[in-house]
Amino acid sequence: MKQLLVFVYGTLRKNERNHHYLKNAKLVAEQARTKGVLRDSGNDFPVLINETSDYVYGEVYEINDDILIDLDQLEGNTGNPSDSHYLREERTVETDAGVMKAKTYFYPSDRKVDFPEVPFGDWRLKKLLDKGVPLYFAYGSCMDDERIDQVGKLNDFNTIGRGLLYHHELRFTLRVSDGGRADIVEDHEQAVEGIVYEITNEALAYLYEREGVYRGMYRPAVVDVEIDGEMVPMLTFIVKDKVDELAPPDHYHNEIVRGGTNHLSEDYLKKIDERVRQLREMAK
Active site residues: 211
C-beta separation of 180 from 279 below 8 A: yes
Residue 4: name the closest of 60, 54, 70, 72 by CA: 60
Q: Can you tell me the distance from the alpha carbon of 224 to that of 229, in angstroms, rounded to the nearest whole number?
A: 12
Cα 134 to its chain centre, rounded Å, is 15
Q: Can you tell me the distance from the alpha carbon of 19 to that of 105, in angstroms, rounded to the nearest whole number?
A: 15
Q: Can you tell me the distance from the alpha carbon of 173 to that of 245, in angstroms, rounded to the nearest whole number?
A: 5
Q: Can you tell me the distance from the alpha carbon of 226 to that of 162, in angstroms, rounded to the nearest whole number?
A: 9
Quote the Cα angle for 123-21-26, to 5°.
90
